[in-house]
Amino acid sequence: MSEENQLGTKIQQIRENREMSVEKLAEESQCSKEVIESIESGDLIPSLTPLIKIARVLGVRLGTFLDDAPQTGPVMVKSGKSEQVIHFSGKEDHPDTSALDFYSLASGKADRHMEPFMIDVRLPVSKDYKLSSHEGEEFIYVMAGKIEILYGQERYLLSEGDSIYYDSIVPHDLHAYGEDAKILAVVYTPF
pLDDT tens sequence across 114-166: 889 898 998 887 788 888 888 889 999 999 999 999 999 999 999 999 999 99
pTM of the model: 0.68
The dotted CATH code for 7-65 is 1.10.260.40
Q: For Cα atoms 124, 33, 112, give the angle at the middle one, nearest 5 degrees.
A: 65
> What is the fold of 78-188?
Jelly Rolls (2.60.120)
Residue-range domain boundaries for the chain = 7-65, 78-188
Label each residue of 68-88 as H, E or C. CCCECCCCCCHHHCCCCEEEE
